[in-house]
Structure 1
Amino acid sequence: MSANTPERGGTHNAVHGGARDSTVVQARHVEFHQHVGGRDPAAPPMQVPPPPPDFVNHEATIEWISGLMDPDAPPRVVVCQGPLGIGKTSLLHQVAYATSAYFTGGQLTYEYERGAREDSDAALAQFLRSLGVASEALSPDPRDWPGAYRTHTRGRRLLVVVEGAWEPAQIRALIPSGPGSLVLASGDGPDLGELTIAARARLRDLEPLDAPVARTLLQRLVDFDLTDEDTEDVDHLLAVCAGLPLALVLVGARLDRGGPGSARELADRVRGPGGVLRAVGDERSNLDVIFQSAYAELSDGAAVLYRTLGTWPGAAFDRSVALAVADEARLDELVAANLVETGERGALRFRHALIRTHARDRAEAEDGAEVRADRLRRMLDAAMVVLGFAERLVRGERLRVVDLDALLDGAEDPFHGDRTAASRWLSRERPTLMAVVLGCLDLRMYEHTWRFAELACALYLGERHVHDWVATGTAGADAARMAGNAAAEARLSALVSRPLRDLGRDEEARARITRAVELAQDVDDELLRGSVWEFHGRFLEGVDPDAAVAAFDRSLRHNRASDDPRAVRGSALALLFRGGALISAGRPQDAAADIATALSDLLALPEGPDHRMAARARVMLGRAHAEAGHDRAAVTALNDALEGFREHRKRSGEDLGYYEAEAHHRLAEVLGSLGATGDRRRHLEIARDLYDRVGSPRAGEVTGLLEEESPEG
């Protein structure tokens, strides 16, 4: 629209995809006078999205923040406060953009969301990965992550942008340790005031645009001269907006569409009766009348879509969700009306949480409960089809209770067989997946709950977002129980035992896996039984290796009793993990036999060889041979593993640096026992570099080994 093409030398205000559930405020020229050191030779993370191209207002706040920057001072915390729609997100992004050279250690950002992304552990895990720590190198105990974060941020001058926090602990956990660092957070209320004591934070209240700036901004949003409109009408529109950029953007869009003379008509609409959204502002900043005036201009079809999208459980929705209840033209109408936007990486969302609230209120006021439920079910079914294609592309032909053949029958693959695109989509949809699972459970839509929960595991098994996995897995298992589906409950209970164990919630994990074993006894599915017993064995391995061996024996028997082609892989994994348990139980020769058989089976799967697991099996085989005293056999297995990792990286592009480092490390140990000290040192150096690259603390262990001896000439 015209707001995106300001007059020469002017400014404008427009809402772009990076603004999530907030509005945009822009400012003119900002100068920073600061001493900037050299950049770290390693590319620092730069995660904060860029601000809008121009920026009006908050110059004083930006100058104040710049005055707090001291490269030798301890990390500082600044909290920018204000109501929804005041422009906090845009301000934070503007500061990050203007100070990118100062923060030589890079920029990190995280957005909390009630009911979806509430835990600082998930933020710490994301930050550690961004700082170079590989997922597999993260400690399984989240209690270790704060210390690791402090270690990895020491010596880095970082900017950390935190949005959506409502508890001081959510911000305190993310304060880095590097001198000169800054945590820049946004808050919607007084709940973060405690940080002034706990973290010596500085608070900054953001104020609405003053009248002259608001008038200038509104003029930039329309193509005609507002001075030609009735002054009383324009003044009334500005008064209703009360300096909130979101309201100004919506009013500007309506005037721009209406053209000259439309201020009187819009002012009359605003003066008329309407609902009130009191989440923002006071009696003068009644945003509901602004939303209602925009809503009233929609066609009947677009209005139905608007109301229907208001019932969607998540903050964002895939295009397929909207198209399940409307056509492209109606969706385009919502975008043109500045009610819906295309966000980062293609997801759609309402331009502001208050617009979403208005849409939901309209649905409850205008549509009956059965109509709302039917439309929501259509959206959920469409979303599940896309999720089903993504799950199959990422996981392949694996065990699942959801009948994918029936779900996807006749549907077109939106990813066109591209596994990478499917994986990226899953990552993008992460918060939406959890919101949908929990939302469906709240609505007692139990079938949808457990099916979404199971298919979402394609994301969790790969990226291991353990908090999300626990939330959706437990919700899915409970929903399956309410739906009377024993197979789905057993599957989800077994799966969720893994992240529960990772989080140290052992008793909950024990209860879930015990429940899964009990249910599996009465489920007529040998493949599912085999999987449940495999998870049982993996739960037991760290505490009772002998009991774990017995559990893997049960898994193997059930897989071999199944005529499902997927049972071949299930048997191979049961053998492989039984081998690991046998090593822990002090039976390395028996372990080597199991692992060798599993390796052969993994390379001869009906669906094709699993080179990734085969390379890991060779490392385990090398460990078994070494424990049995067969050093030369161990050397052969470990060299084969290293070759397997290299080939897998060439074939798939997946970097298994941690496992490759482990292979070099174990190979160095065996070579040392054989007296090959030069080769031992070479492999230790490679292992050290690989461990260091993925951020593993084992790099220090290997460095210590290298320092015990001098290099050979």
Structure 2
Amino acid sequence: MVHGKQSFGAVLRGLRQRGRLTMEELAEASGVSVRAIGDMERGRSLVPQRRTVVALAEGLGLADDEREALLTTARAARPARTGAVAGTAVPPRSVGDFTGRGPELALLRSAAERAPAGRAASVWVVSGPPGCGKTTLALKAAADLAEGFPDGCFVVDLHGVDGPVDTGEALLKLLKALGVPDRRLAKEDHQGRAGLLRALLGERRCLVVLDNARDEAQVRALLPAGGRSLVLVTSRRPLTGLEDVDRLTLSEMAQEEAVDLLRRILGEERADAEAAAVARVAELCGRLPLALRVAGNWLTVRSGWTVDHLARRLADEERRLGALAAGDVCVEAAFELSYRQLTAQAARMLRLLSLVPGPDMTAAHGAALTATDVFEAEDVMEELTEAGLLRATFTGRYQLHDLLRLFARARLAREGGPGEREAADGRLRAWLLETAVVAGRWYKPEYGAPPSSWRGLVPLESAEEARAWLQDEAPSWLPALRAAAAGGEHTRVTETVHAMDWFCDLWVHWGHWVEVFGLAAESAAALDDPYMRAFHLNCLSWALCVCEQRHREAVARADEGLEHARRAQDVHQEASALILAAGAYWELGDARMVAERALAALDLSEEAAHYGVWPQAARLYGTSLRMLGRADEALTQYQRVVAFLDAPDSPVTGHVADIFRTHTTQGLGHVYADLGRWREAVDQFREARLRSRRIGIVHREAETLRHLGEALIALGETEEARSCLRQLLALGDGADDRDLKAARKLLDTLAERAAPTAEGSAPVPVQGDVHGVERLDEGGAGGVRVAERVEHHEVVDRPVVAHGHHRYAGRA
């Protein structure tokens, strides 16, 4: 049964009269009030919701088909808007070239699917910095989801950052869009209208976009308490004061999405012709949707420009923001609107945060820049976060978008007082490098924990906290170190890097140690300090050898360090230089030079009774014996080192002793492997692996896992060997490439060994020297002289009388 084009009220009246029911009788049968039925029949009230229509149908005693027809008439009569309502809310517009944001749209789609259940209000706050595409996402979602909300989709621009719309005005717009007559509105005060809106959104299935909200107060009265509607609120602020809402935070697009958006704007043919330039423009726009759209529009209007030409213009940081303007759309203007709303304190903080060299920061950075305490800085930075100009991450750090950084830096140049930038930059650099010194000294034997008098902006109460700070803040303290070196602050540079010489063992694959120690060596040369020159050249030798496998250069820097150590008459650095050269020669496979340099270091150490360097020199001497095929003598040498470290009055203790013992234990594993004593080799490698893990030397743990796997293969314990090799691979970038490569090769070989042949014959054996020790011939120039020294040299036990430490190099 179809009721054609009759109004709902006329249909209802006809059905009531057909059933010979008075309004009072229908009210009693359905539970709907007499007044409500009368208003519906006369067209004076809004069309009821489904549950009211169902109740009326039951009261009328309608059959199923008639009930469905009445429901259809009710749905058709509701004011579902597909066009603008003059002076009120407007419908969502389509977004033709919308790109990306798949996970975000999926979240909103899921919310729309849950909304009909009506168990609780479905309100989502979509927040993020200026230009990140909040409005575009909300409008796209509204356009996609409109069919699921038959009672209307409405958009109200609240103009939160450029003349905010009064909440009462927004209420009137929505109520009019929902069909509430002016006569009814005139009877209600603000609270009554807010209650009416909540009731209507609770009863109906509407989708409402409250775009560009300024704060919680502006939207609180516009939100339903429950029902089947979906409300999307966009704001630069996260509106943390709102309760019972879901939140979606937007940031810049992924690089792939950013490139795709540019391709849609430019056209695939033009974009693909300059694919590299398009990718570069996406990066220079910070992958911010507003900036990407401006850049794309520039290129479509200026069809004679190449994409590469725009990329070159955007590469100039001082001109980038100015270039990102097209017509009345300007990235800088979008930032300016939010900037003008900040307190003076927050605006100054934003300007100064542009000086942070790293990609993110903590409240301590803000405190150092503004010369305030951490809690005060945190409060101000939270204000910036609330304003959408700073993003808080899950790790407790803050991020400033690249384009916002340029904006803030331009404001600093324009609004900062005389010398403000230089003073703030100096405070930040001083804090970063002073804290790096305190953190690095946790690992130096003569320092350890900070003195009780030290008061820093960050807690460094343990070696673990110190290590975490140095690694987390490296993107900031390394540029600060570069700036100090460029500015001639040579004493600060040498002192900062002097604190790193034992910490660097824990972070071998960072990738910047050659630069760090190189800067320090140059600063030491500028100061003409022979001790500092020797120290930093020795550290540079270590970095060249261990971090970058530039072994010949490592020998040259160690020899240079030896020269300056003799100038400084510093036995410790002189012996260290000899040991570093010995380690580099080990990597080069020159057993005789390893023995010669190691023996020279031993002689110097014993003659000067300076035993802080003795264990490493003795270990490397043992390594040279292994390389010369004299495993029994090497075993004795390693055992002497262990006995030295175990002595109650040993001058080498703590972190340094742990490192020396780890290296020596691994060396014992190798020498037992040389002797074919595989079970003992496995025991030593296991111990070395545990020590490496306890200390946190990941690359050494990986290397030891490799050798443990090789020894287990030799014992035929292949399942445990596979486990060790897989654990090595799981260390990823923390392991040396050669250890990763060896592990993969061994696993492949074990797989082949385990696989039966076509004829069912025995598995293929593992080929080669599984413990990876190369034996070198003893012939060649200088071999007899070195062999004689090796043959007759004895390490004489002497009382331990000296303290100290040194750099180590080479592998056991």
Aligned to 2:505: 461
Matching residue of 2:810: none
The Cα shift of 1:201 comes to: 12
| Secondary structure of residue in 2 paired with 1:464 | helix
Greater C-alpha Rg: 2
2:9 maps to what in 1? none
Q: Which amino acid aligns with 1:496?
A: L
Structure 1 segments unaligned to the other structure (5+ residues) = 31-54, 58-86, 96-162, 164-182, 215-239, 246-274, 670-679
Q: Could you say which residue in structure 1 is the equivalent of 2:666? A: 619
The residue number in structure 1 matching 2:432 is 383
1:526 to 548, 564, 571: 571
Distance in 2 of aligned mates of 1:8 and 1:382: 49
Contact 2:497 2:517 in 1 (8 A): yes
Q: 1:417 is paired with a residue of what secondary structure? A: coil
Q: Could you tell me how far apart the structure 1 residues matched to 2:578 and 2:749 are?
A: 40
Contact residue 582 and residue 590 of structure 1 kept, 8 A: yes
Deviations 1:155-201 (A, max 9, x none): xxxxxxxx9xxxxxxxxxxxxxxxxxxx99999x99xx999689999
Say how many residue pairs are matched: 482
Shift of the 241–93 alpha-carbon distance from structure 1 to 2, 3 Å rule, reads closer
* Alignment partner, residue 494 of structure 1: 538
Residue 123 of structure 1 corresponds to which residue in structure 2?
A: none
Note if contact 1:517-1:533 (Cα within 8 Å) is conserved in structure 2. yes
Deviation at 1:467, TM superposition (A): 2.8
Deviation at 1:8, TM superposition (A): 5.8
Deviation at 1:506, TM superposition (A): 4.7
Paired with 2:250 and 2:564, the residues of 1 have a C-alpha distance of 50
Report the alpha carbon displacement of residue 576 of structure 1 after superposing the two structures with TM: 1.6
Contact 1:615 1:642 in 2 (8 A): no
Aligned residue in 2 for 1:580:
623
What value does the CA root-mean-square deviation take over the aligned residues? 5.3
1:692 aligns with 2:710: no
- CA change 1:535–1:635 in 2 (3 A) is same
Equivalent AA in structure 2 for residue 477 of structure 1: A
SS at match of 2:532: helix
Task: Tell me which amino acid in the other structure corresponds to 1:347.
Answer: R
Question: What pairs up with 1:18-29 in 2 under 5 angstroms?
Answer: 23=132, 27=137
The residue aligned with 2:161 is none
Q: How far apart, CA to CA, are the structure 2 residues paired with 1:668 and 1:296?
A: 69
TM-score (norm 1): 0.55
SS in 2 for 1:278: helix
- 2:355: which partner in 1? 311
Q: Is the 2:552–2:584 Cα contact (8 Å) retained in structure 1?
A: no
| SS in structure 2 at match of 1:91 | coil
Q: CA deviation at 1:305?
A: 4.2
Alignment pair present for 1:345 and 2:395:
yes
Q: Which residue of 2 aligns with 1:329?
A: 376
Equivalent residue for 1:607, pick from 650, 653, 671:
653
Q: Of 584, 587, 592, which residue of structure 2 is paired with 1:546?
A: 592
1:397 and 2:431 correspond: no
Cα shift at 1:465: 2.7
Q: Distance between the aligned counterparts of 1:648 and 1:203, measured in 2?
A: 42
Contact in 1 for aligned 2:441/2:500 (Cα 8 Å) = no
The 10-residue stretch of structure 1 (448-457 or 543-552) with the greater mean CA deviation from structure 2: 448-457
In the alignment, residue 523 of structure 1 is paired with which amino acid? A
Deviations along 1:250-278, whole A, 9 cap, x unmatched?
xxxxxxxxxxxxxxxxxxxxxxxxx9942
In structure 2, do the counterparts of structure 1 residues 287 and 556 end up closer, same or farther at CA, with 3 Å as the change threshold? farther
CA contact (8 A) 2:367 2:377 kept: no
In 2, Cα distance between equivalents of 1:448 and 1:494: 19
C-alpha deviations, 1:555-596, integer Å up to 9, x for none? Answer: 3455557788xx53x321222223223322344343223211
Secondary structure at the aligned position of 1:386 is classed as helix
Q: Which amino acid aligns with 1:336?
A: E
> How far apart, in 2, do the equivalents of 1:463 and 1:360 lie?
33
Alpha carbons of structure 1 residues 515 and 596: separation in structure 2 relative to 1, 3 Å: same
Secondary structure of the residue that 2:322 maps to in structure 1?
coil
Q: CA deviation at 1:541?
A: 1.6
Task: Quote the offset at 1:24 in angstroms.
Answer: 6.4
Structure 1 residues 347 and 202: alpha-carbon distance in aligned structure 2, compared to 1, 3 A threshold: closer
Q: Is the counterpart of residue 354 in structure 1 residue 414 in structure 2?
A: no
Q: In structure 1, how many angstroms separate the alpha carbons of the residues matched to 2:345 and 2:537?
A: 42
1:336 CA displacement: 1.0
Supply the distance in 2 between the matched residues of 1:455 and 1:9 (Cα, whole angstroms): 55
Equivalent residues in 2 for 1:272-287 (5 A)? 277-278=321-322, 280-282=324-326, 284-287=328-331
The verdict on how the C-alpha distance between 1:360 and 1:201 changes in structure 2, with shifts beyond 3 A counting, is closer
Measure, in 2, the Cα distance between the counterparts of 1:404 and 1:420.
12
Q: Specify the code of the residue in structure 2 equivalent to 1:619.
A: Q
Within a 5 Å distance, the mapping from 1:427-506 to structure 2 comes to 427-455=471-499, 460-501=504-545, 502-506=547-551
Counterpart Cα distance in 1 of 2:437 and 2:544: 25
Tell me how far apart the structure 2 counterparts of residues 415 and 597 of structure 1 sit (CA, whole Å). Answer: 40
For residue 82 of structure 1, what is the aligned residue in structure 2?
Answer: none
> Residue 227 of structure 1 aligns with which residue?
none
Query: How far apart, CA to CA, are the structure 1 residues paired with 2:390 and 2:629?
Result: 61
* Aligned equivalents of 1:279, 1:702: Cα separation in 2: 55
> How far did 1:487 drift?
3.2
- Alpha-carbon distance in 1 for matches of 2:262, 2:600: 53
Q: 1:613 Cα deviation (Å)? A: 4.7
Q: Give the Cα–Cα distance (whole angstroms) in 1 for the partners of residues 377 and 467 of structure 2.
A: 29
Structure 1: how far apart are the matches of 2:485 and 2:406? 20
Higher relative contact order (CA 8 A, sep 6+): 1
Aligned counterpart, 1:515: 560
Instruction: Give 1:192-341 correspondences, 5 Å limit.
Output: 277-278=321-322, 280-282=324-326, 284-288=328-332, 291=335, 301-324=345-368, 325-327=371-373, 328-337=375-384, 338=387, 339-341=389-391
After the TM superposition, which residues 49-128 of structure 1 pair with which residues of structure 2 at under 5 Å, given as runs? 90-92=252-254
Q: Determine the structure 1 residue equivalent to 2:165.
A: none
C-alpha separation in 1, matches of 2:654 and 2:413: 52
> C-alpha displacement at 1:512, in angstroms?
3.2
**Letter matched to residue 598 of structure 2:** F
Give the match for residue 22 of structure 2. Answer: none
Q: What is the CA–CA distance in structure 1 between the aligned matches of 2:271 and 2:683, rounded to whole Å?
A: 53
Deviation at 1:295?
5.1
Contact 1:388 1:407 in 2 (8 A): no
Give the distance between the partners of 2:292 and 2:679, measured in 1 at CA: 74
**Judging changes above 3 Å, is the alpha-carbon distance between structure 1 residues 313 and 488 closer, same or farther for their aligned structure 2 residues?**
farther
Q: Displacement, 1:612? A: 6.0
> Structure 1 512/198 Cα, relative in aligned 2: closer, same or farther at 3 Å?
farther
| 1:592 counterpart = 2:622 | no
1:522 Cα offset (Å): 1.7
Distance 2:422 2:584 in 1: 40
Distance 1:561 1:429, change over 3 A: farther
Query: How far apart, in 2, do the equivalents of 1:194 and 1:436 lie?
Result: 42
Contact 1:426 1:459 survives alignment (8 Å): no
